[in-house]
């Protein structure tokens, strides 16, 4: 039984792309060690946050020539630190968690919009490209003092 030529061509293209797809999938899964993000997520036990690094010493730390890390804890109804000073144009890596209930970390007019969940470490990297002062606040309702939960980021030149 003879298939028409064009059908065979299309069938070969179909099988060919399936094989290519499987090879790429295989390389991604095994060759590069890529796993679902969940397995890489760091955890932080809310009960021992104050004892173990990095959250025992919240603050702003320089980690490279133009890189900083902000270690932050949140709790009803505040943050530590509440004032963050970082230089303009630096890569700022936020590492934050909560000591009690779910809080938010929202910086208006930026892409910083994080959920801080007890037991989990939320990470986000951001670069401020203008000097000035930003308010940051909690945007997850967390109780009677929710609207008091805020701080500021000062971006200096
Ligand atoms: Cu913390 Cu709302």
Q: Which atom of ligand 1 is nearest to the CA of 146?
A: 2
User: Do 17 and 50 share a domain, yes or no?
Assistant: no
Per-residue pLDDT at 143 exceeds 80: yes
Q: Which residue has the higher pLDDT, 103 or 27?
A: 103
Query: Would you call 148 exposed, middle or buried from its count of C-beta atoms within 10 A (0-12, 13-18, 19+)?
Result: exposed
Look up 75 and say whether it is catalytic. yes
Q: Which atom of ligand 1 is nearest to the CA of 74?
A: 1
Catalytic residue among 55, 75, 94, 128: 75
> Do 61 and 9 belong to one domain?
no
- Find the domain containing 28 and state its range: 5-34
Active-site residue 77, yes or no? yes
* C-alpha separations of 26 from 12, 14, 20, 30 in Å: 21, 18, 10, 6
CA distance 112 to 89: 15
Q: Does 73 lie in the same domain as 123?
A: yes
Domain count, the chain: 2
Residues of the chain above pLDDT 90, percent: 67
What is the CATH number for 134?
Answer: 2.60.40.420
Which residues have CB under 8 Å from 94's CB, separation 6+?
69, 70, 72, 105, 112, 114, 122, 123, 124, 125, 126
Could you tell me the pTM of the whole model? 0.73
* Residues 53, 12 share a domain: no
Residues 94 and 147 in one domain: yes
CA distance 91 to 73: 20
Residues 28 and 56 in one domain: no
Query: Where are the extended beta strands (E) located within 1-121?
Result: 43-44, 59-64, 67-75, 78-80, 83-87, 91-98, 103-106, 113-116, 119-120
Q: Please give the pLDDT value at position 34.
A: 53
User: Which ipTM value was assigned to this complex?
Assistant: 0.99
Q: Are residues 67 and 140 in the same domain?
A: yes
Of the candidates 40, 66, 51, 64, the residue with the CA atom closest to the CA atom of residue 128:
66
127 with 68, same domain: the answer is yes
Q: Which of 30, 55, 77, 128 is catalytic?
A: 77
Within this chain, do residues 98 and 126 fall inside the same structural domain, yes or no? Answer: yes
The pLDDT confidence band at residue 30, using thresholds 50, 70 and 90, is low
Q: Are residues 50 and 21 in the same domain?
A: no
Q: Are residues 126 and 51 in the same domain?
A: yes
Please indicate, yes or no, whether residues 27 and 91 belong to a single structural domain of this protein: no
């Amino acid at each position: 039984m003879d298939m028409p030529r064009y059908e065979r061509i299309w069938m070969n293209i179909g099988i060919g792309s399936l094989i290519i797809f499987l090879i790429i999938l295989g390389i991604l899964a095994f060759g590069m060690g890529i796993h679902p993000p969940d397995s890489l997520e760091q955890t932080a036990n809310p009960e021992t946050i104050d004892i173990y690094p990095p959250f025992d010493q919240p603050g702003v730390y320089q980690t490279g020539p133009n890189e900083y890390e902000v270690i932050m804890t949140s709790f009803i109804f505040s943050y530590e630190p509440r004032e963050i000073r970082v230089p303009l144009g630096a890569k700022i890596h936020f590492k934050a968690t909560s000591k009690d209930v779910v809080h938010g970390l929202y910086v208006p007019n930026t892409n910083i919009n994080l959920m801080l969940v007890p037991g989990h470490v939320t990470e986000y990297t951001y670069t401020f490209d203008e000097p000035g002062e930003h308010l940051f606040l909690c945007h997850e309702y967390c109780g009677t003092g929710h609207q008091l939960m805020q701080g500021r980021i000062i971006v200096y030149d």
